[in-house]
Copies of this chain bind each other. A is one copy, B any other.
C-alpha cells in the first residue's frame, strides 16, 4: 500500500530548489518564462517543445536567448483576445487542446492583480498556477477506535475556479451540480479550512502531452453533516456516497490523485493522522502547502 507521503508525491512531483538545487535549476533553465508586458513577474513556465509547436503571432515577443515568451498588450481585454487567438490557432497541435472546455482560468500577477485569462485546457502549456475547490462531507462522530473515521464520505465534491469566481461560490455550484447537495445546506454548513498547494508534472494519467507543468492551489472546505442528512444516491441523484474508514480512504487507486491530498489534509486536521502515528507528518504537512513558484 502507498504511504501517505507516497500519495502526496504522486501530485507534488516538481523538485524543491532547497532540496535538489542542481535538478531544480537545470529543469528551470530549460523552460521558457511566460510573461506579459509591463509586469516583471514570471507567470508560468513553458517546455521548449510547447514553444516550438506554437506559431507565435507578432504580438508576442519570443526570445530563444533569454528563453521567454512575452505577451504584449496593456489591458486585460487585449491580452485575453490575443491569448485566445494564439491558442485557437494552435489547437490542432496539442493533445491537451483536444479537450477544449470553454472555461477561462485566471492568471494573477503580484498583489493578486488579474492579468489575463487562459482557456482551462491550455493552462498546462503555459505552466501557470491553477485554482480549484474541494469539499469533504463527513459526519462528525468519532469512532471508539480512533484509527477509523467512519463518518467520511468517499465522494468529495470538486472543480475549477474560473476567472471572476469566488472560491466559495465555486464550491456551492459544484456541490449542487455534482452531488445534488441542497444549496442552502452548503451555504449554511460548508466551512473554509485552508488551501492545499502542490506542483504537479503531468504524466500519462492526466492525458495529453507528458512533462507539462501544473502548479495547483485547491481551496478546501469541510461539510459537516448531521447523521440524518447523509446524501443517498436513490433520492439525491448523487453517484455514490459511502461511509469509509481510513484504510479504505488510503487505497489511493480509487481516487483522482489530488483527491488523496485533500483527504490526507482532512485526516491531519481532524486528528486521525498525527505526529505519533505518521513518521512523515512534518514533510507531508509542508508538501500539502507548498510555497508557490509564481504570483497567485
Contacts and interface: CB of A to CB of B under 8 A. Distances in A.
Contacts of A285: 194-195, 197, 289
B18 A275 contact: no
Contacts of A194: 268-269, 285
Nearest to A24: B18
Contacts of A16: 18, 291
Interface stretch (A77-85, A88-96, A97-105, A276-284): A276-284
A288 B291 contact: no
A270 interface: yes
A293 B18 CA distance: 7
Total identical chains: 2
A70 interface: no
B18 A271 contact: no
Interface string A17-29: 1110100100000
A64 to B, nearest CB: 23
Nearest to A167: B275
Contact of A193 (B191, B268, B286): B268
Given A193-B268, A193-B271, A286-B289, 17 more contacts: A16-B291, A17-B18, A18-B18, A19-B291, A111-B279, A166-B275, A167-B276, A192-B271, A192-B275, A194-B268, A194-B269, A195-B275, A197-B282, A197-B286, A286-B292, A287-B291, A289-B289
